[in-house]
Amino acid sequence: MWSGTPLFPESASTMAPRVDALYLFLVALSAFFSLLIAGLIVYYAVKFRRRSPDSVGARIHGGLVLEITWTVIPFLITMVIFVWGASVFFAMSRPPDETLNIYVVGKQWMWKFQHLDGQREINELHVPVGRAVKLIMTSEDVIHDLFVPAFRIKADVVPGRYTHIWFEPTKAGRYHLFCAEYCGTRHSGMTGQVVVMEEDDYQTWLSGGVQEGSLAAAGEKLFNDLACNTCHRSDAQGRGPMLQNLFGSTQVLHDGSKAVVDEAFLRESILTPARRITAGFQPVMPAFQGIVSEEGLLELIEYVKSLKTQSQGPDIRPQTGGPQPGEATPARRPETR
Amino acid sequence: MSRTLLLPPHHYLNDGFGVRSWLLTRDHKRIGLLYLAAVTFFFFVGGAFAVLIRLELTTPAGDMVTDETYNKLFTMHGVMMVFFFLIPAIPSVLGNFLIPIMIGAKDLAFPKLNLASWYIYILGALFTLYALIAGGVDTGWTFYAPFSTVSSTTNVIPTAVGIFITGFSSILTGLNFIVTVHQMRAPGMTWFRLPLFVWAIYATSLIMVLGTPVLAITILLVAAERLFHFGFFDPTLGGDPVLFQHLFWFYSHPAVYIMVLPAMGVISELVAAFCRKQVFGYKFVAFASLGIAVLGFLVWGHHMFVAGQSVYAALIFSLLSFLVAIPSAVKVFNWTATMYKGSVSWSTPMLYAIGFIGLFTIGGFTGLFLAAIGLDVHVTDTYFIVAHFHYIMVGGTIMGYLGGLHYWWPKISGRMYNEALAKISAAIIFVGFNLTFFPQFVVGYLGMPRRYHAYPPEFQVLNVLSSAGASILGVGYLIPMVYLIWSLRYGRLAGSNPWGAVGLEWSTSSPPPTQNFEETPIVTWDAYEYPTPVEGRVV
Amino acid sequence: MSDSPTTHREHHPALAHHFGSLAEQKEASTLGMWVFLVTEVLFFGGLFATYAIYRGWYPEAFAAASHELDIMLGAINTAVLITSSLTMALAVHAAQTGDRRRLMIMLVATMVLGCAFLGIKGVEYHEKFVAHHVPGLDFQFEKEYFRHAQIFFSLYFVMTGLHALHMIIGLGIMAWMLRWSWNGTITRDYASPVEISGLYWHFVDIVWIFLFPLLYLIGRHG
């Protein structure tokens, strides 16, 4: 019975040793001070045990030096822990520039993973060792949370927005994946596995299986099916901004504010375009809220991301006025919360 | 103590008999006992749910109850324990009974409002019991949106209404205490002569009065969204689910200080009485209570480190969360220093106080683990959190409550309980508690998420240990019920000051007269001013 | 606060047994009302915070929705409520000077104005219902701002509804004070119940003074 009982989780990502180091330091610190205090209490309780029923304690009010000491020293210690914890957190919050992106949609009560090349997985996520992986996540219904104990990472998956998380696996193997935000009846069933494979095995796995076409290709199909191409086109008939090189650029909106075109921007532009009209364009785009599913949105976003031409700047040619290529890119309007 | 003690001829318990004299009383002491009955009932109902939860978790598969039932069990356990036991227990039972006596007053500032607060609590409790009988709620006591407003199919509204109503009991009790402490102190009872229990209740009252209204409005918005589809938190209606979390935790973090500050106040009294010594650093302990109350309002975001708030917000909440730990640490050090060269008695209340200090220290240290964001990311929403808050709530608050109940039992009832049984139960509780909750730290770090009905088999051994501990803990809680009730009839008479302690409550009879004192005291001494050893006897 | 049981001091009928004097009782009840009003600030505060966040995110939708409110009725209501605070202050003064007749007249005036406020609010709510501006009840709005105008109206109904509830409770308190004025409980020595009722009434008025511009006057300048 005992042999199957681990007392410490496996360490399978680059972050795990950093988190464990902080944890073990805190365990040692806590154990030291707890034992110190417990020891003192027991010692005093014994040494100064009441000998006769009428005896009283000594007349001691307090001591300023002691008070200051045991306020300042804990303060300094907690500040050390704060800085340490913050530095680990910064590393967790900033994915490296080059990441393997995978989209995640959580819904009651399953996880749907979509690789860019079209591989879809349910409740199982295959990733390669030694490469930074970024998960871009949303929920279809209520708040969930993607948690991989072996990687020491966790993030809420929220309906109505995208959250992201990154990790770099260091060891091949199968690791638990849990939903860690209570989400209803089968919350404890919303589990899965992360399957970390050596790079070669991963490539083999990628090329096997039913090829459905990449996410971007699916997005292109959806783009045409939904008739987006009737307005977003490059000729005089086009009433919408052209989408080449749009992703990652900064746009001026009709109210004068500026926004960086990221996944959240595109999502909102499709669902409720009235909020995201680019300067110089009429607010005629219909809202696709309720018409496009979360997966459809991801496909469309990947398609827009894939639209790159050889030219340098944004290539939008509105019919009436608007920002010209080369115009100074304005500051970003905070959007992703 | 002489064996020929008699009960005083007139005291608050024989000042009127019959149901009406209790249900229409304005006497703060009787109202405290009305609360005692109510919170004890909810403690055992909530405890019964805990037993069922731990039974289910002895096996990895979800085989004892269905998913839905399990979700309702942990929800109702949380709702009842938090709102109907932990928040009211010490303030409304011990606070109501003792505050006027400790400050030398005849009653609280607003006795009728005090009685109304009890009825409001009962009304809220009835709504919640209705929700339980009608099938329960499954949102978790934190009822996050949009699950609670859109997805859950259970009795969210009746539960929400129940908590909303009971919140007003909390607000009005806090209001009553604040005005009482400001206005009703006896001549000579200056602020810095007040017992530290009064300081703690005062700080708690500030939190109750400022924080609970925000919970009330949050509940209102949840109900409005659920009933009328007003879109506050539902993204399909344009709302923001994370906004719910901000509003909810703005109250619910200070709420945990409502739960623990009064217990700390009790510990100050116990340590002083059972060392017959002034609390070391009285002013530091008093101000630490206020500091905890203020800082406690500034840290709510530490419940949301993985919820999607900005990195900078997270950093500020983390920093403040470390700061709020400091005053608690200061108190622990001061209590320990009080024991130095004290005359330390090993009576049951002191055992509870020592247990509190040890367990609260562990719980508090694990709070530091959680304030460190990089570590919190891994352990949040796991059993590590469950263990942390149970160390504070159970290892802290409940130990403080039981310690206070035992210490003031002779004052409340006029009788002593059986000391041997009391010591044994305290020991059983201590062992049972640690066996229940320490393994949860381990299984939490391993990655077992909270609110899980079924779990991977490698977590089983730790869960079995925890469940074994829970059964011991349950027994430990039942025994005091027996001997305390037994003592009401057969316990030996206590006399006005069985412990040889100082404090206004010990200068009046046990049980006290309805108006608390025969003559209004005039205070010329500091709190905990025990005679010097040369002066000898206390009593 | 010494209160020797042997001397029999004159005991004002309104003095509760646990207070030493009427002055102490008045101080306590006044402090109690102020603490209660602080809790009300926090209560409405949660709503105002929610309002501030959503307005910051969706300013155009909020402005468009705000324009649909009847600014004339809102302004009239503001004037009605401010006048009622005047009559309330006059009532308090009458109580303090022992002018029973004027006290009762002013209390009635305050109640009439309060009822007028609620009546006009009722008219406004009816207008909104007819215009399909009640979220959850076949809500209709221009497509561009549909989702976020719903949030505005949700906030509108909860905020003004809660305020109206407080007004109704205020009317109840006024009725109670009227009864006490009529049966002689309120005297020059014991005017504090009217005073603290006045505090409550003024608070409810102040909440409206914040609600009016925040709900009715978005984007109406220039």
Q: Is the pLDDT higher at A219 or at B532?
A: A219
Residue A332: the pLDDT is 30
Q: Which of C3, C28, C158 sits opposite B520 (nearest CB)?
A: C3
Q: Which of A22, A29, A158 sits opposite B375 (nearest CB)?
A: A22
Mean pLDDT computed over B523-527: 91
- Give CA A236 to chain center in angstroms: 40
Owning domain of residue C190? 52-216
Mean pLDDT computed over A144-165: 95
Per-residue pLDDT reduced to its tens digit, C140-180: 888 778 888 999 999 999 999 999 999 999 999 999 999 99
In a domain, C26, yes or no: no
Per-residue pLDDT reduced to its tens digit, B415-444: 999 999 999 999 999 999 999 999 999 999
B181, B183, B189, B192 alpha-carbon torsion, rounded to 10°: 50
pTM here?
A: 0.91
In a domain, C164, yes or no: yes
Q: Decide if A287 and C145 are in contact by the 8 Å CB cutoff.
A: no
- What is the distance between the alpha carbons of residues B235 and B151, in angstroms, rounded to a whole number? 13
Q: In chain B, what percentage of residues exceed pLDDT 90? A: 91
pLDDT at residue B414 is higher than 70 = yes
- What is the distance between the alpha carbons of residues A170 and A198, in angstroms, rounded to a whole number? 10
Mean pLDDT computed over C117-142: 92
In single-letter form, the type of residue at position C32 comes to: G
First CA to last CA distance, chain A: 46
* Residue in A with minimal Cα distance to C144: A274
Per-residue pLDDT reduced to its tens digit, A3-16: 567 889 999 999 99
Q: Decide if B240 and A337 are in contact by the 8 Å CB cutoff.
A: yes
pLDDT at residue A330 is higher than 50 = no
Highest mean pLDDT among A261-275, A297-311, C163-177: C163-177
Residue C95: the pLDDT is 95
Residue B376: the pLDDT is 97
Phi, psi of A314 (to 5 degrees): -65, 145
Q: Compute the nearest-CA separation of B147 from chain C (Å).
A: 18
Per-residue pLDDT reduced to its tens digit, B57-87: 999 998 899 999 999 999 999 999 999 999 9
Strand partners, B242: none
- A→C interface, C-beta within 8 Å: 255, 272, 274-275, 283, 287, 289
Q: Decide if A55 and B276 are in contact by the 8 Å CB cutoff.
A: yes
In a domain, C31, yes or no: no
Q: Decide if B446 and A9 are in contact by the 8 Å CB cutoff.
A: yes
Contacts of B268 (CB under 8 A, 6+ apart): B195, B196, B197, B200, B279, B285, B331, B335
Residue A237: the pLDDT is 63
Q: Do C166 and C204 meet the contact criterion of CB atoms below 8 Å apart?
A: yes
In single-letter form, the type of residue at position B178 comes to: I
Q: Do B363 and B388 meet the contact criterion of CB atoms below 8 Å apart?
A: yes
User: What interhelical angle do B399-413 and B96-103 show, nearest 10?
Assistant: 60
Strand partners, A196: A127, A173
Per-residue pLDDT reduced to its tens digit, B127-169: 999 999 999 999 999 999 999 999 988 999 999 999 999 999 9
Cis amide prior to B346 (ω within 30 degrees): no
pLDDT at residue A274 is higher than 90 = no
Burial of B287 (0-12, 13-18, 19+ CB in 10 A): middle
CATH of residue C111's domain is 1.20.120.80
The whole-chain average pLDDT of chain B stands at 94
Q: Decide if B217 and C47 are in contact by the 8 Å CB cutoff.
A: yes
Q: What ipTM was predicted for this assembly? A: 0.93
Number of CB pairs < 8 Å for A and B? 311
Residue A166: the pLDDT is 96
In a domain, C32, yes or no: no
Q: Any CB–CB contact under 8 A between A328 and chain B?
A: no
How many structural domains comprise chain C? 1
In a domain, C120, yes or no: yes
Q: Which of B170, B217, B232, B242 best probes binding to C when mutated, by most C CB atoms within 10 angstroms?
A: B217
Locate B320 and state its tokens. 């403040």
- Give CA A83 to chain center in angstroms: 22
Residues 429-458 of B with CB under 8 A from A: 442, 445-447, 449-458
Q: Do B423 and B430 meet the contact criterion of CB atoms below 8 Å apart?
A: no
Q: Decide if C31 and B179 are in contact by the 8 Å CB cutoff.
A: yes
- What is the distance between the alpha carbons of residues B80 and B72, in angstroms, rounded to a whole number? 12
Q: In chain B, what percentage of residues exceed pLDDT 70? A: 98
Confidence of residue B535 (pLDDT cuts 50, 70, 90): low
Q: Decide if C147 and B238 are in contact by the 8 Å CB cutoff.
A: yes
- What is the distance between the alpha carbons of residues B528 and C11, in angstroms, rounded to a whole number? 36
In single-letter form, the type of residue at position A76 comes to: L
Mean pLDDT computed over B233-247: 92
pLDDT at residue B203 is higher than 70 = yes
Strands A258-260 and A250-252: antiparallel
Residues in B closer than 8 angstroms to A189, CB to CB, are 67, 454
Q: Any CB–CB contact under 8 A between A178 and chain B?
A: yes
Per-residue pLDDT reduced to its tens digit, B315-337: 999 999 999 999 999 999 999 99
pLDDT at residue A322 is higher than 70 = no
Q: Decide if B241 and A158 are in contact by the 8 Å CB cutoff.
A: yes
C140, C143, C144, C148 alpha-carbon torsion, rounded to 10°: 40
First CA to last CA distance, chain C: 61
- Short-list A291, A140, A274, CA closest to A225: A291
The whole-chain average pLDDT of chain A stands at 85
Helix (H/G/I), strand (E/B), else coil: A216: helix
Residue A3: the pLDDT is 55
- Short-list C71, C62, C65, CA closest to C120: C71
In single-letter form, the type of residue at position B419 comes to: E
User: What interhelical angle do B311-339 and B241-275 show, nearest 10?
Assistant: 10
pLDDT at residue B95 is higher than 50 = yes
In single-letter form, the type of residue at position C105 comes to: I
Q: Decide if C144 and A283 are in contact by the 8 Å CB cutoff.
A: yes
Q: Any CB–CB contact under 8 A between A25 and chain B?
A: no
List the single range of B417-426, B518-527, C74-83 with lowest mean pLDDT: B518-527
Contacts of A85 (CB under 8 A, 6+ apart): A22, B318, B371, B372, B373, B374, B375, B376
Mean pLDDT computed over A238-265: 85
The neighbour count for residue B28, using CB atoms within 10 Å, is 27
* Residue in B with minimal Cα distance to A153: B378
Per-residue pLDDT reduced to its tens digit, B358-411: 999 999 999 999 999 999 999 999 999 999 999 999 999 999 999 999 999 999
- What is the distance between the alpha carbons of residues B534 and B528, in angstroms, rounded to a whole number? 17
| CA angle at A137 for the pair A211 and C136, rounded to the nearest 5° | 115
pLDDT at residue A90 is higher than 80 = yes
Strands A100-107 and A173-179: unpaired
Q: Do A78 and A25 meet the contact criterion of CB atoms below 8 Å apart?
A: no
Q: In chain C, what percentage of residues exceed pLDDT 70? A: 95
Residues in B closer than 8 angstroms to A71, CB to CB, are 326, 330
* CA dihedral (C136, C142, C148, C153) positive or negative: negative
- Short-list C103, C109, C114, C66, CA closest to C187: C103
Q: Do A169 and A130 meet the contact criterion of CB atoms below 8 Å apart?
A: yes
Q: Decide if B217 and C43 are in contact by the 8 Å CB cutoff.
A: yes
- C→B interface, C-beta within 8 Å: 1-5, 16-18, 24, 27-29, 31-32, 35-36, 38-40, 42-47, 49-50, 53, 58, 135-137, 147-148, 150-151, 154-155, 157-158, 162
Q: Decide if B380 and A180 are in contact by the 8 Å CB cutoff.
A: yes
Locate C43 and state its tokens. 């209560």
- What is the distance between the alpha carbons of residues B246 and B251, in angstroms, rounded to a whole number? 9
Confidence of residue B504 (pLDDT cuts 50, 70, 90): very high
User: Selecting from 1.20.210.10, 3.40.30.10, 3.30.360.10, 2.60.40.10, what CATH number does the domain B28-506 have?
Assistant: 1.20.210.10
